[in-house]
Amino acid sequence: MLVANESSIVERQHSLSRHYAEAPEDAWITDHARALPSKHRDAIHGVVEPANNDGVLQPYGIHRAVGGDHDAPNPGDLLCSALAACLHSTLRMVAERLDIQLIGSEVTVAASVDVRGALMVDMAVPVGFQRMHCDVHLEVPAETDEKTIKTLMVGAEGCCVVFQTLNAGTKVTTDWRIDQVA
């Protein structure tokens, strides 16, 4: 059985909700990560440094389907990881707010892409994942009613930031800074 922290998510979120209602500008947050070359210094390996991670670097590699070695998590794996982590934590928070006791929980995410677009083999094939699928497995007490479970499912998907970001097709912008070195 999963045990909540001493300070429950309900208490934490209630306090935050009150604060954000009074100061909406404080509700804006920005997450960060940066990618850098790895010790390999080749085009198919690198490291990602997520913010608030005390300098811990997550190695990544490129999928063999586009010429990489696939010897480390690839960017698609990291995208799936972000969605799995966000949906899993969101469903657990929503369950706590609904007073649903979760006996067990697991979220698995799979994403499918036709790499011909990324390799410019067929310009009609879009670049990007064409499908993502979340498989959520929950264990709840037998007396948990269907309406409560449905509320949990809708609430988890509806409040999951990464899930909703991907569904909305959020606009991505890029700033390029080029230094020409002699």
Beta strand spans in 19-130 (E): 33-37, 45-50, 58-61, 104-112
Tens of pLDDT, residues 137-171 = 999 999 999 999 999 999 999 999 999 999 999 99
Output the CA torsion sign for 121, 126, 129, 130: negative
* Ordered domains of the chain (ranges, CATH): 33-73 (no CATH), 74-170 (3.30.300.20)
Q: Which residues pair with 46 in a beta bridge?
A: 37, 60
Q: Say what the pTM is.
A: 0.88
**CA 39, 181, 35, 60: dihedral to nearest 10 degrees?**
-40
- Alpha helices in the chain, H assignment, sequence order: 9-22, 75-97, 146-159, 161-168
Tens of pLDDT, residues 72-85 = 999 999 999 999 99
Please report the DSSP string for 137-152 in residue order.
Answer: EEE--TT--HHHHHHH
Tens of pLDDT, residues 40-59 = 889 999 999 988 878 889 99
Q: How far is CA 41 from the centre of its chain?
A: 27
C-alpha span between 1 and 138 (Å, rounded): 12
